[in-house]
Structure 1
Amino acid sequence: MINTPAYIFNIDILQERVDRIKSLIPEIELTYSIKANPFLVPYIIDMVRHLEVCSPGELSICKAASVPPVKIIYSGLLKEEWDITEAVEYGVDIITAESPRQLRLIEKVCAEKDCHAKVLLRLTSGNQFGMDQDTVVELLKTLSEYPHVDFAGIHYFSGTQKVRSAKFEADRANVHGLFDAAKELGISIDFLEFGPGAGIEYFDSPSDDKDFENFAVAMEAITDFKESVKLGIEMGRFIASTCGRFETTVKEIKPSKGVNYVIVDGGIHHLNYFGQIQGMKIPEISVSTTRPAKDKYCIVGSLCTTADVLVREVELPSLEEGDVLTFNRCGAYSITEAPNLFLSRRMPCVYAESKDMGLKLLREGMESYRFNNEYEN
């Protein structure tokens, strides 16, 4: 029995998604960015080549799940010396350098440990992540000053939820500019870890086919790289979104000024769709009831804010208290991005399921008030 509110992650759907992606890029390594959903780590280890971790906490999750270090790319905007030391001691396969300072720290740690580290230099797309082309080129010129660093290639990720070919072409041009500059220097780049940021559809009749139309556009933009370098594709949302659902129970139905407000035990502190604005867009929802009559509802959570609107107006079968609403396509980010601590309400249960495993409780519902005061710590 599922106790709501709850996230449920279907591992069979996750496997199907990964298999479809890999069938389209059989010659390309696939990396899962665990920030999209760290609860999937134990189940996805054997489905992909690498897991990208971006913080000491995410590395701790991988260690707890006994992820082989050879399967880890250690990334992240801020890396302190102790972060890098922990990653090196664990033996992670690759570390990314987002700045000259990070490269110096990697060299320092490896020199002290008398070991080497494979390093990707991250090229920026015009934000706080990575380095601009001139900085990367200067580091490439001076790699001999980092004898404990084994230059492994370039890391590039420009964003998320991209659907227009122009955005992918801009990424392509940016990376090609660096590759051309390196070639002029006689420096070989053998590997590109590329995050395409291919968008998935949450609201407009969401379907796998639409998702993979976006994926095809992204792959078309970088297909020529396959001829010159080994290519890795890094994704989080695109891999994980479809495997997750969020279940929440109708607790009260309150008509007011012509609006049927449905108050549920979930809310915006649990459910977060990229692009949702004050519940104006309608995600994919299913209902436990099969009553033939229909009505229009405004689905709201229990937070003391007018912003806690999951769906502003949606037509559903006639609802009653105790009915369960299921929000689909929330396998990525909802569980980590939604403001769980707001108003000190209970955090959802977390489950995984598959045909072979059945339903497995991963985390009991947690009282968030413990994190919001000085007395419980």
Structure 2
Amino acid sequence: MSNPTSPPLPGQPHVARHGDLLQVEQVSLEALAREHGTPLFVYSKQWMLDALAAYQRGFEGRDALVCYAMKANSSLGILRVFAKAGCGFDIVSGGELARVLAVGAEPSKIIFSGVGKTRGEMRQALAAGIGCFNVESEEELDVLNEVAVAEGQRAKVSIRINPNVDPKTHPYISTGLKGNKFGIAHDRALHAYRHAASLPGLQVVGIDCHIGSQITEASPYLDALERVLDLVEAIEAAGIALHHIDFGGGLGIDYNGDTPPAADALWKQLLARIDARGFGGRKLIIEPGRSMVGNAGVCVTEVLYTKPGEDKNFCIVDAAMNDLPRPAMYQAFHRIVPVSARGQGEAQTYDVVGPVCESGDWIGRDRLLNVRSGDLLAVLSAGAYCMSMASNYNTRNRAAEVLVSGDRATLIRRRETFEDQLRNELAGSD
């Protein structure tokens, strides 16, 4: 980044002001909005590579594979960055498999997770030659075995264990408690492994654990690690070898003063425990998503109207819950800042809301802003779980996406058109 005139924004070191205007790396957000319209998602390639590098530093000298959890952001331009950097991928659907294969991902570095894999998806993944299925129920073991035998193959499997560890995060993104739908209960794990090892279409290769998302403390990881390593000892004592240990992802990012441990620092702690338990030479797999892309992204949106009210002032923008679903789904926080620092009057407190016909369509509550119609705002930390969950609600076109590298900006998704939305629909006949 060229010399900024103010410090980078918190959590987003590649977003800073140059003069009055906000830039991602060396590209003006105002210029990108003029060229591509709004709402517009803009990503810093360097931020993503820096995030990956932190994990790579943590695993230096180890037999480890970083599999990007692509549900966080599955845009082809993002996937290509990670594929070229040597990442594997964590997928949860046949569609995600098709996407990563389209960008040249190595099939042997693909891990297929998810509680509801269909027979068709299993066949698709077997034909592609993926590295491993993370199996999430005992019945899934039987179905995958049937499919693999019918295809004349042996499916490599790792069983996802639910360790009943509280990740201390939002309940909608907690996945490791006994009340969650994910994984096989800790006390059923040995039984499940014995059953898997008896099936002719399966080859047991590992164990998997993923406890949740937006985790900002090390302690839940350390608790889960101990429970998983206890199971590894019990499973291998039963004569079932485990080639790899998969610890999932879930590391949080800074949305609003959050202080998650750095990836390399977290893994220094975890590896010390792994070494102390005698598993330091084991192959390790992790599946980070949000921490690889979350703070790489900014959503640029235009102020349509300001609307004073008796109890609330509203700043109505052209981005909405179909573009930025996290606030409506999780009451999530995103920082919102003006793209231009040129002042036009007194700042007021606004709820920043979109045009969708729902009271849940809000982007930020009680934000102090100095804005008027036509101004641009930047919604920060928008790289994860925004475009990947975007929809056409209210028949709104999905936004364009741009990837920035230094002073170069590349369009990686064209703005959707109404023709795109209607292409596969049939009106029928009277």
Give the TM interval when normalised to the shorter protein: 0.7 to 0.9
- Is the contact between residue 349 and residue 366 of structure 1 (CA under 8 Å) also seen in structure 2? no
User: Quick one: which amino acid aligns to residue 40 of structure 2?
Assistant: A
User: Quick one: which amino acid aligns to residue 5 of structure 1?
Assistant: P
State the partner residue of 2:394.
Answer: 343
State the partner residue of 2:413.
Answer: 362
Give the drift of 1:170: 2.9
Q: Deviations over 1:313-348 (max 9, x none)?
A: 2223x323221111111111011235x233222322
State the partner residue of 2:404.
Answer: 353
Structure 2 gap segments, 5+ residues each: 1-34, 163-175
Q: TM-score scaled to structure 1, two decimals?
A: 0.87
User: Quick one: which amino acid aligns to residue 310 of structure 1?
Assistant: I
My pick for the range that moved more, 46-55 or 136-145, is 136-145
Does residue 330 (structure 1) correspond to residue 382 (structure 2)? The answer is yes
- Is the contact between residue 328 and residue 360 of structure 2 (CA under 8 Å) also seen in structure 1? no
State the partner residue of 1:224.
Answer: 273
- Is the contact between residue 39 and residue 399 of structure 2 (CA under 8 Å) also seen in structure 1? yes
Distance 1:341 1:282, change over 3 A: closer
User: Quick one: which amino acid aligns to residue 345 of structure 1?
Assistant: R
- Is the contact between residue 163 and residue 214 of structure 1 (CA under 8 Å) also seen in structure 2? no
* Equivalent of 2:103 in 62, 65, 79: 65
Does residue 20 (structure 1) correspond to residue 54 (structure 2)? The answer is yes
Give the drift of 1:372: 11
Distance 1:218 1:158, change over 3 A: farther
In structure 2, what is the Cα distance between the partners aligned to 1:5 and 1:345?
A: 11
- Is the contact between residue 321 and residue 361 of structure 2 (CA under 8 Å) also seen in structure 1? yes
Distance 1:42 1:110, change over 3 A: same
Distance 1:258 1:95, change over 3 A: closer
Structure 1 gap segments, 5+ residues each: none
Does residue 243 (structure 1) correspond to residue 296 (structure 2)? The answer is yes
In structure 2, what is the Cα distance between the partners aligned to 1:137 and 1:3?
A: 55
Does residue 7 (structure 1) correspond to residue 41 (structure 2)? The answer is yes
- Is the contact between residue 328 and residue 362 of structure 2 (CA under 8 Å) also seen in structure 1? no
In structure 2, what is the Cα distance between the partners aligned to 1:70 and 1:277?
A: 35
Distance 1:144 1:335, change over 3 A: closer
Distance 1:348 1:144, change over 3 A: closer
User: Quick one: which amino acid aligns to residue 124 of structure 2?
Assistant: E
User: Quick one: which amino acid aligns to residue 216 of structure 1?
Assistant: A
My pick for the range that moved more, 71-80 or 238-247, is 71-80
What SS is found at the alignment partner of 1:63?
helix
User: Quick one: which amino acid aligns to residue 342 of structure 1?
Assistant: Y
In structure 1, what is the Cα distance between the partners aligned to 2:331 and 2:54?
A: 33
Does residue 99 (structure 1) correspond to residue 137 (structure 2)? The answer is yes
Q: TM-score scaled to structure 2, two decimals?
A: 0.77
* Equivalent of 1:47 in 85, 108, 111: 85
User: How many pairs are equivalent?
Assistant: 370
What SS is found at the alignment partner of 1:310?
strand
State the partner residue of 1:32.
Answer: 68
User: Quick one: which amino acid aligns to residue 400 of structure 2?
Assistant: C
In structure 2, what is the Cα distance between the partners aligned to 1:287 and 1:143?
A: 55
In structure 1, what is the Cα distance between the partners aligned to 2:130 and 2:408?
A: 30
My pick for the range that moved more, 227-236 or 364-373, is 364-373
- Is the contact between residue 84 and residue 105 of structure 1 (CA under 8 Å) also seen in structure 2? no
State the partner residue of 2:22.
Answer: none
My pick for the range that moved more, 2-11 or 233-242, is 2-11
What SS is found at the alignment partner of 2:298?
strand
My pick for the range that moved more, 254-263 or 158-167, is 254-263
State the partner residue of 1:285.
Answer: 337
What SS is found at the alignment partner of 1:8?
strand
Does residue 320 (structure 1) correspond to residue 365 (structure 2)? The answer is no
- Is the contact between residue 350 and residue 365 of structure 1 (CA under 8 Å) also seen in structure 2? no
Give the drift of 1:369: 6.6
Distance 1:275 1:236, change over 3 A: farther
In structure 2, what is the Cα distance between the partners aligned to 1:162 and 1:306?
A: 29
In structure 1, what is the Cα distance between the partners aligned to 2:428 and 2:361?
A: 27
User: Quick one: which amino acid aligns to residue 399 of structure 2?
Assistant: P
